Structure 1
Amino acid sequence: MATARTASPATMIGVNKPTNGHFKGQTKPTGQQSGLHGTSQLPSHKMTTVTCILYLQDVTSTKGNEFEDYCLKRELLMGIFEMGWEKPSPIQEESIPIALSGRDILARAKNGTGKSGAYLIPLLERIDLKKDHIQAIVMVPTRELALQVSQISIQISKHLGGVKVMATTGGTNLRDDIMRLDEIVHVVIATPGRILDLIKKGVAKVNKAQIMVMDEADKLLSQDFVILIEDIISFLPKDRQILLYSATFPISVQKFMNKHLKKPYEINLMEELTLKGITQYYAYVTEKQKVHCLNTLFSRLQINQSIIFCNSTQRVELLAKKITQLGYSCFYIHAKMMQEYRNRVFHDFRNGLCRNLVCTDLFTRGIDIQAVNVVINFDFPKSAETYLHRIGRSGRFGHLGLAINLITSDDRYNLKSIEDQLVTDIKPIPGSIDKSLYVAEYHSVDPDDDDGSDGGLKNKEQGAA
């Protein structure tokens, strides 16, 4: 794909200086009608609360089990219900009893169908508070996912009476992690490089850890991480349990399974790779027309929250500036930002403080923000796997979503290839998009009535993480 060009920063006059991923300026909310004949604006001081009434079979086609059926501790059940998880999703129904039995699992399920709950619930159930060593490790490919998973584990386990959960990732103070591990830690949620460093320093003692989870296993077993993962496993006891979860399973996963898993219980809840709940369109444009097309989409779509993907960090910042210049609220995030700023942007966007987020593929893995109902590929991805994970940011836990791809002449062959690989149909964008394809029932929320915890934008149907 030819290198795309974008507007020079010198042309972006009148944009206030960004502050660590947050652009300040006039907030211009996106249009609230999906038709192409006029828009009605939502007042800039009000966000929206979504009550989703449309669910897909990915989360509704269950066996009718209840969380109580798995003989879980009463205190763990309290945490589960307080999360708003009323009944297990299909992946949780399949995983929880097998994981509780101690058997290895190879699970394939779509993004947003409850994978985090599928492994965290049995993992936390099996923690023995009488033992003061690391009993479980959850491996994830990104810092953001580590923070998200650790937060979920802390919330679910808060009534268990002392389960200690720790998140450790690269880009943070190593000394703080060393001091934390000097105290009791039962569960470690980590990125591979950091936990391996702590293991080799003799600080993180994992020789008694009975469970290792690999979330987004396809990424963890890519060339970037596989050597680290193999090294980490060499420090674990031979009788450990390994749980693998991902939406895609390339050859690397098959090789790893054959080498390290013992008669794994295989779960496949995916008839096809692409998410059924995502309506996919493409708009054929030149590079110079992309920003104008994006502006048109903002004015004509009913966006609750959107994530916009670019293929480089430079283009992320340039586009975020341009969006702000157009008058829309916008955050951005990429891997070259300092970790504390990335954490703040992620936290604020998740809490609904901004409607639009521009990012690189850093943000494609397992991030669960249910308010996102539109994903836009400003730059079209190069691989089917990346495309799948990008559009999976909308349609979380069975909610409907919309994916729009801006396609240049350089992307046309890649578009056809991804359609073929995913056995899906990406259609030309119509003159008017039926909002029932991606919009649930909304009502405005007055910030004065909000408790301030979610910026006035909160999904009342919590679902599973």
Structure 2
Amino acid sequence: MTDIKKKFNDFGLKPEIVKSLKHMGYIQPSPIQIGCIPYLLSGNDVLGMAQTGSGKTAAFALPLLNNINSNIKIPQVLVLSITRELAIQVAEAITKFSQYIKGLNTVALYGGQRYDIQLRALRKGPQIIVGTPGRLLDHLKRGTLDLSKLKGLVIDEADEMLRMGFIEDVENIIESIPASRQTALFSATMPNEIRRITKRFMKNPKEISIKSNIQTQPDINQSYWTACGRKIDALIRFLETEDFDAAIIFVRTKSATLEVANVLEKHGYNSAALNSDINQSVREQTLERLKDCRIDILIATDVAARGLDVERVSLVINYDIPLDVESYVHRIGRTGRAGRTGRALLFVENRERRLLRNIERSINTTITEVKLPNAEMLGQRRLAKFTEKVRKQLQNNDLDQYRRLLSKMHPEKNLDMETLAAVLLKIAQGERPLVLPKDNPCNFNRNKFYNRNENRYTRDLSHSRNKIEKHNYQNAHLNIKMNEMQLYRIEVGRNDGVEVRHIVGAIANEGSISSRCIGNIKLFNTHSTIELSRNIKCNVMQCFNRTRILNKPINMQLISDTQLNKGNINRQSNKHNRSFNSIERRSVCEKS
């Protein structure tokens, strides 16, 4: 499209929409908006390829709002969202865009909210429906949602819907709405399954492809730390030395959100966990608390935070490295949005170097390495913060009454005011001393570290000692497996397109199981086998009774221990497969 629009006024949008954009501070459209809005205004189907944070919501909402008849009280536009949070986020954005259009109503339909609330909202005749696939199908089956007059359909985050196994539900929904509708599909990537949907359900779509928003957002300062020692201790140090208004810490599993949140609370941070196990109303309250400054740190999984846009978020910490570039893009896209500056920090363990290199190659950017803040830096930081508190208190008008209290304090005879001030300073600082002992070099070191400049591994201990430790660890690891693991069969395999990461992600997610409790995984054509620890707290068969991988039931069954022992013997003779599974098992936990 050669006609480049530099302002929203140039698109020919309704005055009410332009007024709302001006009120919200929107001036210049983003590249995805420049590409999509003219085509959607003219009635074309659009296939948009862009990363999260690029402005996709406005790209499809503004032209569809422009073409809606607000006098007709029936659903005219349907937006499919991958998560409840994203559905709420999109619905709120559309409501703001349409705030000056009289009679226009938007409703979000998602799981976790009571049906009676949604039924009352549907009776009012909303023109725009934003919903998750599962709840939308429920309403269609109940007959409480009529999409027979639908004019526009938007499928947002299509690749994520495919990854999470919702694409079949999406196809069922599309088949129940008029074929004459206008369709817009947005996806960060374009796998074959998504391409098949575009050919089946879209009419000569206009393709708009925007490069990774990391490259178009120079205001995001990206760096990584080579994780060694306890990551949670390092996290506390980085939080102490970083300047941020609000922060999001990304972890892989739902259980990790609670563990990290508990530690941060003990260290005095106002933090909260966000995952799919938390009640929906509590999740909504958590986001509101983050927005209105009642909490400063959110610990979340990828899917739970998808679509989250809180203006005050200026720091993102990848506590667990994401397994693909798209997830990394989504995570750091929570900061540095709409021209704001942001900071992104990535924790990388030595065995995860390949994931870091993959991210750098994909975004065509070198992520700089940073060192862990040392004791001297922490002490300086704490002193600076305490000095700032003192400076603010000097401006108070009620200091005279405290001066009078000083004259009444006589803990010891001949106590000078300087010593008394030092004692009060120590008391006021509390459990975090201003003077810290020097770091012990062993606390944050491993036997092996990676020298990036030399592009090779070096060791700070002797080769023989490392070799002995490695041998002992492997033997202990195998003995634990032999005694504590049970072998299960699941009815998905290579023919279903399943990979090890899919199995680990589903098992870890559905059962809130640590990756340490997952043993060797073997893929066959029609089925797979997986080892699980006997010490798992949940009832395995009950936990995974309804689990699906790539939308296919796994039908888990327990296999005898005799076969398990045989599998361990085979695994000892196949070092390559064992190493591969170990990397996948420890690296992968796709969650919701």
Which band: TM-score by shorter chain? 0.7 to 0.9
Q: Which residue of 1 aligns with 2:73?
A: 132
Residue 425 to residue 313, structure 1, CA distance change in 2 (3 Å)? same
Structure 1 residues 236-385: aligned runs within 5 Å: 236-270=177-211, 276-277=217-218, 278-286=220-228, 288-385=229-326
Q: Which runs of 5+ in 2 are unaligned?
A: 374-388, 393-592
Query: 1:266-320: per-residue Cα shift (whole Å, max 9, x none)?
Result: 111216876643332221223x421221111112111122110111111111111
Partners in 2 of 1:158 and 1:424 — Cα distance? 40
Q: Which residue of 1 aligns with 2:47?
A: 106
Query: 1:87-137: per-residue Cα shift (whole Å, max 9, x none)?
Result: 322222222111111111111233323211111111111111232211000
Partners in 1 of 2:190 and 2:306 — Cα distance? 14
Q: Do the aligned residues in 2 keep the contact of 1:63 with 1:90 (CA within 8 Å)?
A: no
Q: Which runs of 5+ in 1 are unaligned?
A: 1-61, 433-443, 447-465
Structure 1 residues 56-95: aligned runs within 5 Å: 63=4, 65-95=6-36
Query: 1:188-239: per-residue Cα shift (whole Å, max 9, x none)?
Result: 0101111111112111111211101122222123352100100000011111
Residue 399 in 1 paired to residue 331 in 2? no
- Between 1:407-416 and 1:308-317, the stretch displaced more is 407-416
Residue 180 in 1 paired to residue 121 in 2? yes
- Per-residue deviation at 1:177? 1.7
Partners in 2 of 1:178 and 1:311 — Cα distance? 35
Q: State the secondary structure of the residue aligned to 1:221.
A: helix
Out of 198, 201, 204, the position equivalent to 2:139 is 198
Residue 161 in 1 paired to residue 102 in 2? yes
Partners in 1 of 2:256 and 2:324 — Cα distance? 19
- Between 1:164-173 and 1:87-96, the stretch displaced more is 87-96
Q: State the secondary structure of the residue aligned to 2:125.
A: coil
- Per-residue deviation at 1:430? 4.8
Q: State the secondary structure of the residue aligned to 2:154.
A: strand
Partners in 2 of 1:70 and 1:409 — Cα distance? 50
Query: Aligned residue pairs: how many?
Result: 372
Q: Which residue of 2 aligns with 1:32?
A: none
Residue 97 to residue 253, structure 1, CA distance change in 2 (3 Å)? same
- Aligned sequence identity (%): 31
Q: Do the aligned residues in 2 keep the contact of 1:214 with 1:245 (CA within 8 Å)?
A: yes
Larger helix proportion of the pair: 2
Partners in 2 of 1:86 and 1:276 — Cα distance? 17
Q: State the secondary structure of the residue aligned to 1:134.
A: coil
Q: Which residue of 2 aligns with 1:42?
A: none
Q: Do the aligned residues in 2 keep the contact of 1:221 with 1:229 (CA within 8 Å)?
A: no
Q: Which residue of 1 aligns with 2:175?
A: 234
Q: State the secondary structure of the residue aligned to 1:205.
A: coil
Partners in 2 of 1:108 and 1:331 — Cα distance? 33
Partners in 2 of 1:123 and 1:80 — Cα distance? 15
1 or 2 for the larger relative contact order (CA 8 Å, sep ≥6)?
A: 1
Residue 152 to residue 271, structure 1, CA distance change in 2 (3 Å)? closer
Structure 1 residues 427-442: aligned runs within 5 Å: 427-430=368-371
Query: 1:12-45: per-residue Cα shift (whole Å, max 9, x none)?
Result: xxxxxxxxxxxxxxxxxxxxxxxxxxxxxxxxxx
Q: Which residue of 2 aligns with 1:7?
A: none
- Per-residue deviation at 1:172? 0.9
Letter in 1 for 2:222: Q
Q: Which residue of 2 aligns with 1:96?
A: 37
Q: Do the aligned residues in 1 keep the contact of 2:80 with 2:132 (CA within 8 Å)?
A: yes
Partners in 1 of 2:270 and 2:212 — Cα distance? 38
Partners in 2 of 1:353 and 1:116 — Cα distance? 27
- Per-residue deviation at 1:243? 0.7
Letter in 2 for 1:281: S
Q: Do the aligned residues in 2 keep the contact of 1:216 with 1:366 (CA within 8 Å)?
A: no
Q: Do the aligned residues in 2 keep the contact of 1:274 with 1:388 (CA within 8 Å)?
A: no
- Between 1:357-366 and 1:418-427, the stretch displaced more is 418-427
Partners in 2 of 1:137 and 1:64 — Cα distance? 27
TM-score (norm 1): 0.75
Partners in 1 of 2:5 and 2:38 — Cα distance? 14
- Between 1:420-429 and 1:113-122, the stretch displaced more is 420-429
Residue 170 to residue 75, structure 1, CA distance change in 2 (3 Å)? same
Letter in 2 for 1:167: A
Partners in 2 of 1:177 and 1:266 — Cα distance? 35
Give the root-mean-square deviation of aligned CA atoms.
Answer: 2.3
Out of 150, 162, 166, the position equivalent to 1:209 is 150
Q: Do the aligned residues in 1 keep the contact of 2:46 with 2:206 (CA within 8 Å)?
A: yes
- Per-residue deviation at 1:380? 1.6
- Per-residue deviation at 1:363? 3.7
Q: Do the aligned residues in 1 keep the contact of 2:105 with 2:128 (CA within 8 Å)?
A: yes
The structure whose Rg is larger is 2
Q: State the secondary structure of the residue aligned to 1:170.
A: coil
Partners in 1 of 2:157 and 2:265 — Cα distance? 33
Letter in 1 for 2:108: A
Partners in 1 of 2:273 and 2:213 — Cα distance? 32
Query: 1:375-421: per-residue Cα shift (whole Å, max 9, x none)?
Result: 11111222232222112212212433222112223423333344344
